[in-house]
Amino acid sequence: MSQAQLAGPDLSDSYVSLIESGKRTPTPVVARLLAERLGCTTEFLLHGIEPRQRIDTELGLRHAELELQHGDPVVAADRFTEIVKAADEENAMLTAQARFGRARALEAQGRLGQAVEAFERLRREAAAHPERLADLPLTIALSRCYQRAGDRLRACDLAAYALRQAERLNVAEGEIAIDLATALVEARGENDGDSPELAYVKKVLDTVGVSPVVDRSGEIRSLWEASTAAAAGEDSALAVRLADDAIMAGRESRLALQLARAATHWARMATAPVEEAERLVAAASAVFAAFPAATAEYAESLVVHARVRMRSGDSVRAAELASQALGLAVEGSAGTAAAEARLVLATVALELGGSAESDLAAAQRLLSSLERPVYGTDRPAARCWRELGDLHGRVGAVAQQTAAYRKALEAAGVRSAMAGVTADATVSR
C-alpha cells in the first residue's frame, strides 16, 4: 500500500509519513483505523507483538525476575536470554528489560566481566534510546560491578555521575536511591572524610530509615507457584497478576536488606560518629537477623558493631559481639566475618593484658583459606591481613608481621613485584 492508500479519506498521506518516520505518535482512534486497513491488531501495530505473545513475554519477564530475586541466578539468566531471543527487535522495550535482567543475573553469579560488558552495552543503548532504557539504574549497577571487581576509581567515577543525576532529579527515596546510596558508601574508603557522596548516603539513611521487616519468603514462594500453575492452565492474565503480587511481596524485604548493607558500611567508617554508627549497625543487625539467608551478613554486622563498641572504649561488649559473630560465621564460607571476629577478640585480649596468640593463629588460618577473587582485588581480605600484621607487630612477632603485610599487598593486587622483596616491618599502612 502507498501512504496515500493507507491514509484514505480520513488522514493525510503526510501525517502517515510522519507516523512512519517516528515523528508523530498516532492517537488510539487513528491507531485502530490504521490497524483495520493493515489487517492486524492495534497491539501489533503499536508494539510489534500480538496480545497473547506480549502477555506471555511479560509473564516470562516476571518469572525470570522472581528466579533472580528468590531462586537461582543461573536459571534466571537462561530465562532472560530466552526472552531476548524470542522477542528480538520485534519489541525493543521488552527486549531491553530482558537484557537488563540478564546482566543483573550475571552479576549475581559473580561473572563480573560478562556483567560489565552487558551493562556497558545497555548504557550505550540507553544514550541512543532513552525511551527504552533508563541510564541511572545502569550507571549504579556498573559502579557496583567495578567496585566488586576491584576497580575502585572507575566505581567512584560512575557513582559520582549517578549522584549528580539523582540530585538533579531530587531522588532520595525508593529503590534507585537506596541502590545508589549502597554503591556510594561501598566505593568509599573507611577513613574518607566528609564528601557529597557520603552526605547523600546519610540523607537516604535518615529519610528512609533502617527498620526491621518480616521474612515473607513463604508467601512469595506460594504466590510464585500459584502463578506458575495459572500459566500452565492458560490463564496468563491471572498468572501475571500473581507474579506481580509475589514481586511486590519481596520488595519491602529487598529494600530493607539493601538499606541494612548501606548502614553497615556506613558504621564501619572511622569517621562516622560513634552514637550514629551504633544506632545504624544495631538496626542493620536486626534486619539481617530476620532472614536465614542473610546469616553471613548478620555476622558481618555484628563484627562492625563490635568495632564500634571498641571505638567507644567498651571492650567487654565488643568481645561479646565478636563471639556472637564467630558462632554465626561458617568456616569456609565466603567473606571475612570469622577472621574479623578473631581479630577483634585478639585486640580485646591485648587491651586487657591477655594472650592473643590463639586468636591471631585462627585469624591467619581463616584468611589463608579464603579463595582469591576471579577479578581484581579483595579489599576486605587486604584490610584483614593488614590488621593482622598490626597485631603481630604489637606482640613483637616481626616475621609474621612482615608476612601478613605481604599478604595484604597481594590481596590488594600487588603481586608481580613482591617476589624477593623484604618489607619494613614498621610500615603498617
Instruction: Give the pLDDT of residue 264.
Output: 93
CB within 8 Å of 34: residues ≥ 6 apart: 6, 16, 19, 26, 45
Angle CA(328)–CA(329)–CA(334) in degrees, nearest 5? 145
Instruction: Give the pLDDT of residue 417.
Output: 42
Q: Which of 256, 308, 257, 310 is nearest to 282 (CA)?
A: 308
Angle CA(174)–CA(209)–CA(253) in degrees, nearest 5? 60
Q: At what angle are helices 174-187 and 196-208 packed, to 10 degrees?
A: 140
pLDDT tens-digit map of 6-37: 888 888 888 888 888 878 888 888 888 887 88
Give the torsion through C-alpha atoms of 343, 346, 350, 353, to 10 deg.
160
Predicted confidence pLDDT, tens digits, the chain (429 residues): 888 888 888 888 888 888 888 788 888 888 888 878 877 777 677 766 555 667 788 889 999 999 999 999 999 999 999 988 876 555 777 888 999 999 999 999 989 999 999 999 999 989 888 877 889 999 999 999 998 887 888 998 999 999 999 999 998 898 999 999 999 988 877 666 667 888 899 899 988 888 888 889 999 999 999 999 998 887 888 999 999 999 999 999 999 999 999 999 999 988 888 999 999 999 999 999 999 888 889 999 999 999 999 999 999 999 999 999 988 876 545 578 899 999 999 999 999 888 989 999 999 998 888 876 555 567 788 889 999 999 999 999 999 999 999 998 888 776 544 344 443 433 333
**141 by DSSP, 3-state: which?**
helix
**426 by DSSP, 3-state: which?**
coil
Q: Which three cell numbers stand for residue 333?
A: 564460607
Q: Return d(Cα 30, Cα 202) in angstroms, integer.
A: 50
Residue 122 identity (one-letter amino acid): L
DSSP character string of 269-305: STTS-HHHHHHHHHHHHHHHHT-GGGHHHHHHHHHHH
Q: Which three cell numbers stand for residue 398?
A: 616481626
Residue 396 identity (one-letter amino acid): G
Instruction: Give the pLDDT of residue 48.
Output: 62
Q: Which of 325, 415, 338, 425 is nearest to 384 (CA)?
A: 338
* Torsion sign across C-alpha atoms 197, 202, 203, 208: positive
CB within 8 Å of 29: residues ≥ 6 apart: none
Q: Which three cell numbers stand for residue 221?
A: 514462594
| The overall pTM is greater than 0.85 | no
CB within 8 Å of 390: residues ≥ 6 apart: 401, 428
